[in-house]
Structure 1
Amino acid sequence: MVDAAMKLAGQKGWRATTMADIAAEAKLSLADIYRTFPGKSDILRGFTRQIDELVLSEGGQDDGTETLRDRVFDVMMRRFDALTPYRAAVDAVSRDLRGDPVAAAIHACALRRSLAWMLEAAGVPADGLVGAVRVKGLGVIYLAVMRVWLTDDSADLSRTMAALDARLRQAEQFSRTLRSRGRRGDQTGTDEDSTSGSDPLPGTPV
């Protein structure tokens, strides 16, 4: 059902795709679709969950040599890799949601949950107030890099990788600046702030 919906979205746009279209493409009855996905927003949540599960199932074992930024980079690139077969659909959905504030708000909630799981997969706590700030920070990075990914026709997504790396480095520098301000006057904090393992997402100055 999800694949049928995404295929049609890529062909004719998300707004123009009806539940009847999806049922016909999936060779199912409307009742079959309704039992699983009562509305189009539910299909989008199903798609997001499908991508989440794919990314989370592909996680490798950390040998302890990767920095936190490297781990976030790897997880997010796995996400863009998983989304690539559906690029036309993602583009169509993104454009059409701009004209539907209610659907956009529903999708934003699902995206925040997904990004929290992406952080957890990278070994970054995503709970509590600090976690919420990190999720928001990753969301800003993700949406900015997605604009590059949507037009990235390179075989290895090199433009997307470069954009993601640049954004994570900027976020890491910002996080270091917050720590530095929070520890101003504490001379023992200077060396720690200069390490490459700093949190690459804005979180807390402590």
Structure 2
Amino acid sequence: MKKAEIPQHIVDTAMSLAAEKGWRDVSLADISSSAKIPLAKIHDLFPSKRAILTYISSSVDNQVTDDEDGDRLEQSAKDRLFDLLMNRFDALQSYKVGLASVVHDGCRDPFMGISYLYNLRHSMALVLEVAGLSTSGIRGVIRIKVLSLLYIKIFQVWLHDDSVDLSKTMSALDKGLERIDTWARRCSRSGGHEKSAHAL
């Protein structure tokens, strides 16, 4: 195995074990044994299981950035966000069963939940910026919070979406973004601003 492939191999092993026995019961020693990589090496790369989740989140964030398309800015804000968020779900697809275990155990572990929400805020801010929507100021803070809440809701739909094309996830995301867009446009009009493509 090439050195550059080791981190991903560790992550894949961790997610497989999470799917098999539950994230809470998986230890770094378990991962070491299954991945056939010395525990010291794993600890150097991932000093905690939380670091593994951060790695997954960062990897997906990088994919969102790498997939940046200049032509996307010609679409509506709603369509840009839809494409970017669906790209995230596609990137996470291979980890779905393992992440379901992480979410289940995270509900019983406040510290894990707080850590996840911190990563989520960063990821949603990145999605907004790539979509051409500023995250600066009060409006930016609101955008991040609203998109984070929507993502958490759609994430639950995705976890239980067994359709080949993720049609349930796409439908729920489209409806959620439509509601947000409608709300944003109403707020813009009530504030005396003209309707714009950047209502979100």
The alpha-carbon distance between structure 1 residues 91 and 70, as it changes in their structure 2 partners (threshold 3 A), is same
Quote the residue 1:140 is aligned against: 149
2:35 is aligned with 1:26? yes
Deviations 1:74-126 (A, max 9, x none): 10000011111111011111110011101211121111111111111111112
Q: Equivalent residues in 2 for 1:110-125 (5 A)?
A: 110-125=119-134
SS of equivalent residue, structure 2 residue 132: coil
Quote the residue 2:4 is aligned against: none
Structure 1 unmatched runs, 5+: 184-188, 201-206
Alignment TM-score, normalising by the size of structure 2 = 0.90
Contact 2:17–2:31, Cα closer than 8 Å, also in 1 = yes
Q: Equivalent residues in 2 for 1:95-134 (5 A)?
A: 95-134=104-143
Larger CA deviation: 19-28 vs 89-98? 19-28
SS of equivalent residue, structure 1 residue 62: helix
Runs of 4+ in 1 over 3 A off after TM superposition: none
Q: How many residues align?
A: 191
2:88 is aligned with 1:88? no
Provide the aligned C-alpha RMSD in A: 1.5
* Code of the aligned partner of 1:115: M
SS of equivalent residue, structure 1 residue 140: helix
**Identity across matched positions, percent:** 38
Alignment TM-score, normalising by the size of structure 1 = 0.87
Deviation, 1:167, is: 0.3
Structure 2 unmatched runs, 5+: 1-9
- Matches of 1:76 and 1:63 in 2, distance apart? 13
Choose between structure 1 and 2: higher helix proportion.
2
